[in-house]
């Protein structure tokens, strides 16, 4: 089939074997066989309705295409790896089965608008899987947050212990990220939802086709308004790749923290054995390989985005063969993100939280120092004065190997007469968390509100 090209009318030589292999896209665009057949049936139906095809010609074409789809799905028909692309394969197979009527299918259509339509249909379908994965991951994180509303841990800035927070609050931060990711994909799909079918090669057609009909039948909101733009637009690929890259950024940050927290230096969490591996030489090792792989695959998706942007940056209108490079990148990113999400969900579900270790870590690092300063402010001392005074107390405690809770009231009173016995209640770690009452804070009441918000957002 490789020598039987649909475009060979003006050529006197067959394509060189190396050039043929280089030019072929069947290895990856065969993923879109279902979309290609769906679009072709819709196109044929429109040609019939507008009088370009007869009823019998349409029925012959539609039946033939349905048979090809069924045979591919049943494994009775293998997609020919020597075909130039999926569009050529389907048209050639159709003509082989129904004869001359098969050659009429491509009337008022080009492979340029055909591939653009196929790709959009495929992306709409596959992005549904990504959205489902994001939903499941967000629900998983939210459920883990529910279980840890009162689990106190150190919060960090610059990877240094900063203030006490709840583990729920930390997980909910990721819920908010993934909710934004969900929204970004929906936004991109909304802009994608216009059909290029009927734009033809670049300038439209002289046939009286009904592009609005095919757009509606295929489930698009409408038809692209400019034929040049319709065949050359790949903004939707870039937008989705950008959204996928942000998903991977968030997955990578979460993975990085879980990797740190599962180490003996932290021991805040423990991965289930089903999501860990061992060492070939060190029998004691339990490695967080799934989280590390998610972190590693992030660069791969970034590369897909940058490759697509670079491919597009210097292209004149309308279609250029360079644009064949869009599919491998977007298909790879789709598959990578989907796999990472599918692993992340059960990895989070089975994650063991170690609250005692988290609380123990809170006792070190003077993470209640801000609360001690706030204690003085509420008794009338200016914040900046209180800040400096508490900084001196922290330095004194470090020198003596004491925590702020262990420093005696007499020592406190040497620094300010405002200190009373109730200061110890003010700097109790769990009280420090509970007192956070501002909207979105780590206080227990606010965390419960965030959990409810996430549940409602997912619904």
The residues annotated as belonging to the active site are: 158, 279
What are the E-state strand segments in 35-111?
none
Residue (of 85, 99, 119, 113) closest to 209 by Cα position:
113
Residue (of 298, 340, 303) closest to 325 by Cα position:
303
Range 31-46 burial, b when 16+ CB lie within 10 A, else e: bbbbbbbbbbbbbbbb
Structure token pair of residue 326: 């869009």
Structure token pair of residue 254: 């979460």
> How far apart (Å, rounded) are the C-alpha atoms in residues 340 and 352?
20
Cα-based distances in Å from 272 to 265, 310, 343, 353: 18, 41, 12, 11
287: which DSSP letter?
Answer: B
Cβ contacts of 178 within 8 Å, gap of 6 or more? 134, 137, 138, 141, 247, 250
Is-contact 200 227, C-beta < 8 A?
Answer: yes
Is the dihedral angle over the CA atoms 258, 171, 302, 297 positive or is it negative? positive
Cβ contacts of 143 within 8 Å, gap of 6 or more? 349
> In angstroms, how far apart are the furthest CA atoms of the chain?
101
What is the phi-psi region of residue 204: left when phi exceeds 0, alpha when psi lies from -120 to 50, beta otherwise?
left
Helices 289-312, 325-349: crossing angle, 10 deg rounding: 160
Is-contact 22 81, C-beta < 8 A?
Answer: no
CA torsion angle 154 351 180 156 (round to 10): 10
């Amino acid at each position: 089939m490789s020598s039987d090209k649909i475009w060979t009318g003006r050529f006197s030589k067959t394509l060189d074997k190396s050039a043929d292999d280089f030019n072929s896209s069947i290895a990856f665009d065969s993923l879109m066989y279902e979309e290609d057949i769906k679009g072709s049936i819709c196109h044929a139906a429109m040609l019939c309705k507008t009088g370009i095809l007869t009823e019998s010609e349409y029925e012959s074409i539609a039946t033939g295409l349905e048979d090809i789809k069924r045979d591919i799905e049943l494994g009775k028909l293998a997609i020919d790896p020597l075909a130039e692309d999926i569009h050529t394969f389907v048209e050639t197979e159709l003509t082989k089965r129904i004869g001359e009527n098969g050659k009429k299918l491509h009337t008022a259509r080009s492979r340029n608008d055909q591939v653009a339509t196929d790709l959009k249909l495929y992306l709409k379908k596959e992005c549904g899987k990504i959205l489902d994965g994001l939903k499941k991951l967000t629900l998983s994180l939210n459920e883990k947050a529910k279980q840890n509303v009162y689990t106190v841990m150190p919060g960090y800035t610059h990877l240094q212990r900063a203030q006490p927070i709840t583990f729920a609050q930390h997980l909910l931060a990721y819920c908010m990220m993934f909710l934004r990711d969900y929204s970004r994909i929906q936004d991109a799909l909304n802009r994608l939802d216009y059909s290029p079918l009927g734009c033809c090669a670049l300038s439209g057609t002289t046939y009286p086709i009904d592009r609005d009909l095919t757009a509606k039948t295929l489930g698009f909101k409408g038809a692209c308004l400019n034929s040049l733009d319709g065949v050359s637009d790949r903004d939707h690929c870039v937008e989705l790749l950008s959204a996928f890259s942000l998903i991977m950024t968030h997955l990578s940050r979460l993975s990085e923290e879980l990797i740190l927290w599962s180490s003996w230096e932290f021991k805040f969490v423990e991965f289930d054995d089903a999501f860990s591996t061992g060492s070939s030489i060190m029998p004691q090792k339990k490695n967080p390989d799934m989280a590390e792989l998610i972190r590693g695959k992030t660069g791969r998706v970034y590369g897909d985005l940058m490759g697509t942007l670079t491919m597009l940056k210097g292209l004149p209108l309308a279609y250029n063969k360079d644009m064949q490079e869009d599919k491998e990148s977007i298909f790879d990113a789709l598959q990578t993100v989907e796999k990472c999400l599918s692993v992340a969900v059960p990895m989070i579900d089975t994650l063991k939280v170690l609250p005692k270790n988290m609380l123990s870590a809170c006792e070190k690092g003077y993470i209640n120092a801000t609360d001690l300063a706030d204690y003085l402010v509420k008794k009338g001392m200016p914040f900046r004065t209180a800040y400096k005074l508490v900084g001196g107390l922290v330095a004194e405690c470090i020198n003596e190997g004491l925590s702020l809770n262990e420093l005696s009231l007499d020592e406190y009173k040497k620094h300010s007469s405002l200190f009373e016995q109730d200061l110890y209640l003010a700097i109790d770690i769990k009280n420090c968390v509970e007192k956070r009452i501002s909207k979105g804070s780590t206080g227990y009441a606010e965390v419960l509100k965030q959990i409810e918000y996430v549940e409602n957002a997912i619904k």
